[in-house]
Amino acid sequence: MASAAESSEVLVVGGGPVGMLLAGELRLHGAEVTVLERLPEPSGRSRAFRLQPRTLELLDARGLLERFEADHLRWPKAHFAGVSPLLRLDRLDSAHPYSLLIPQARTERLLEEWATELGARILRGHELTGLTQDAERVTARVAGPDGEYAFTAGYLVGCDGGRSTVRKAAGIGFPGTGGGVTALLGDVRLEDPAALPVGVPGTMRTPRGLLMAVALEEGVTRVLTTEFGGAQEQEDGRSRDRDRDAPVTLEELRAGIRRVTGAEVPVGEATWLSRFSDATRLAENYRSGRVLLAGDAAHVHFPIGAQGLNLGLADAVNLGWKLAAESAGRAPEGLLDSYHAERHPVAVRVLRETRAQLALMNPDERVDALREVFSELLAIDEVNLLLSELTSGLDVVYDLADEAGPGSVHPRTGRRAPELSLRTAEGATVRLAELLRPGRPVLVDPTPAGKAAAAAAGWADRVAVVTGEPVDAEAAPALLVRPDGHVAWAADEGDEGLRAALARWFGETW
């Protein structure tokens, strides 16, 4: 190993959307951060094409939403397992009741721009080859353009995907199930686009599998074939369950289209070919000492509706402020451990949901009756709304009642903060999302007595305190909102439990 060595407070391994958002969050809260990305240049490839309503709320709370929405389509619908009727996102209790149809590559680029603006250091063409850690630091072995060197950091976060080198080097288990479904992806030029059901959702189900085709740009169509049965099915005496790392050929994609549709579809050149499966795995722990995981490094599942991307972005926002506080030595006891405690159960629910959707998508005629029943359920407003909240990330509730202290058991505690506007004493109208943009926690006290604001005076150096009248309601509870937009404490009147919640999440007064 070369004698050169570098250091940073936090080292993020993986420069995809999750790694870039985490880098920005860490810088927003004052941590020195370096991102190591194996690729010398962005690939420009996009597995996911959708940002969900909860992600849009988070982007709004960082002042980034306008960048993302420019020139991209809002879609107030979504599908659940391709069953009709579609989910109606426009009924969601959110300022952003829609999906944003945006390529993952552009999401990554916009987040990298933001992280760089905030001072994050991005090192491309640098690959992690191993790591060790002790009670004080993590030492990473890195292969860069000029050879190998050591990189030390107070903490290291693996955002390096489902085959995470960080996770393996840290010895974190990744239990789950292997793949039984074979899926091929191709961004191709079709000689006859009308031969496939191009559109949104643009899905064809046959007894042999599923095919989805979505028009991208400049005459390129994304084609995905999904075949159930994995290695048990054979064609010409050969297993179709190829090594997941083996490159996909254009002829292999053509054969997959032919098997699913039963027709010969002329497919021209491909700009990208890939394969994936329904392997579903979840890290046993999101933290091992000074090493943490986020995004696909912590959880993988069959890709349905960009669930993995949005789940990982929420990981980053939950972790950023906590890790920055821990790195700076100002975190209360147990703060960093709350990352696993809160995000691991969310991933359990998403993995269950994607498994359920894939089971419904199985074209086996024995599943037809289940799809018919499910179609009737989706037509019920309450069921449609429940599944819309589930797939959009709006139903996440952290169990914070015991941690936040006595008197804090309020229906809002642990939930995402509501859309709220206040009229301040100066006559200005301000949205809660705008108050969160500096990255600080916010205590909003719209109650006439203002007791909560008075009780928080000792935390004024760490918590923004805002008083005023609610604009769209006669009354609203006082809310202590964490930087990730979740309510740490709430009360309709008074301040019982507020000091305990402030100390639990942001430390004792000095």
| pLDDT tens by residue, the chain, 510 residues | 344 578 889 999 999 999 999 999 999 999 999 999 999 999 888 888 999 999 999 999 999 999 999 988 999 999 999 899 999 999 999 999 999 999 999 999 999 999 999 999 999 999 999 999 999 999 999 999 999 999 999 999 999 999 999 999 999 999 999 988 989 999 999 888 777 876 545 678 889 899 988 888 778 889 999 999 753 343 333 344 446 668 899 999 999 999 999 988 889 899 999 998 999 999 999 999 999 999 999 999 999 989 999 999 999 999 999 999 999 999 999 999 999 999 999 999 999 999 999 999 999 999 999 999 999 999 999 999 999 999 999 999 999 866 545 545 799 999 999 999 999 878 889 999 999 999 999 999 998 888 999 999 999 999 999 998 889 877 789 999 999 999 999 999 889 999 999 999 999 986
Residue after which a domain boundary falls, among 255, 277, 299 = 277
Contact 483, 440 (CB under 8 A): yes
Are residue 340 and residue 440 in the same domain, yes or no? no
**CA nearest neighbour of 384 among 57, 101, 90:** 90
Q: In sequence order, what DSSP letters do the residues of 18-49 get, joined into one string? A: HHHHHHHHHHHTT--EEEEESSSS-----S--
User: Are residues 69 and 135 part of one domain?
Assistant: yes
The verdict on residue 27 lying in a domain is yes
| Residue 413 is assigned to a structural domain of this protein | no
In sequence order, the 6+-apart residues with CB closer than 8 A to the CB of 350 are 299, 301, 307, 308, 311
Q: Is residue 232 part of a domain?
A: yes
Query: In the numeric block, which tokens belong to residue 507?
Result: 């430390």
> How far does Cα 392 stand from its chain's mean position?
11
Q: Which residues pair with 480 in a beta bridge?
A: 443, 489
| 340 and 253 fall within a common domain | no
Which pLDDT score, from 0 to 100, does residue 45 have?
87
pLDDT of residue 27: 98
Residue pair 267/253 in contact by the 8 Å Cβ criterion: yes
Domain shared by 162 and 223, yes or no: no
Q: 164 and 19 in contact (C-beta within 8 Å)?
A: no
- Tell me the pLDDT tens digit for each residue of 76-95: 999 999 899 999 999 999 99
Name the nearest CA neighbour of 418 among 496, 468, 502, 477.
477
Give every CB contact of residue 47 below 8 A, 6+ residues apart in sequence. 104, 185, 274, 303, 309
Q: E strands of 89-158, at which residues? A: 99-101, 121-124, 127-133, 138-144, 147-158
Structural domains counted in the chain:
3
Are 292 and 272 in the same domain? no
Query: Considering just the CA atoms, what is the radius of gyration of the chain in Å?
Result: 24
Residue 264 and residue 289 share a domain: no
Residues 89 and 226 in one domain: no
CATH of the domain at 329: 3.50.50.60
Q: Are 100 and 72 in contact (CB under 8 A)?
A: yes
Residues 386, 389: Cα–Cα separation, whole Å: 5
Quote the pLDDT of residue 233: 40
Amino acid identity, position 263? A
SS3 196: coil
Q: Do 380 and 353 lie in a common domain?
A: yes
Which CATH number goes with the domain that contains 453?
A: 3.40.30.120
Find tokens 């391994």 and name the residue: 13
Give the pLDDT of residue 403.
Answer: 54
Angle at 208 between CA 205 and CA 210, to 5 degrees: 35
- The span from the CA of 317 to the CA of 26, in Å, is 9
- Shared-domain flag, residues 475 and 372: no
- Determine, yes or no, domain membership for 411: no
pLDDT for 1: 39
Of 244, 277, 310, at which residue does a domain stop?
277
Using CA atoms, how far apart are residues 278 and 273, in angstroms rounded to an integer?
A: 17
470 is in which domain, residue-wise? 421-506
- Does a structural domain hold residue 325? yes
Please report whether residue 212 resides in a domain.
yes
201 with 166, same domain? no
Q: Identify the pLDDT of residue 216.
A: 83
Using CB atoms within 10 Å of the CB of residue 401, give its burial: 0 to 12 exposed, 13 to 18 middle, 19+ buried.
Answer: middle
CATH number assigned to the domain comprising residue 206 = 3.30.70.2450
Helix (H/G/I), strand (E/B), else coil: 311: helix
Residue 82 in any domain: the answer is yes
275: alpha, beta or left? (left if phi > 0; alpha if psi -120 to 50): beta
Report how far apart, in Å, the C-alpha atoms of 45 and of each of 73, 106, 272 are.
19, 9, 8
Q: Do 393 and 54 form a contact (C-beta atoms < 8 A)?
A: yes
The reply to whether 141 and 15 lie within a common domain is yes
Q: Note whether residue 404 is domain-resident.
A: no
Last residue of a domain, one of 277, 309, 342: 277
Q: Verify that 324 and 371 share a domain, yes or no.
A: yes
pLDDT (0 to 100) of residue 202:
66
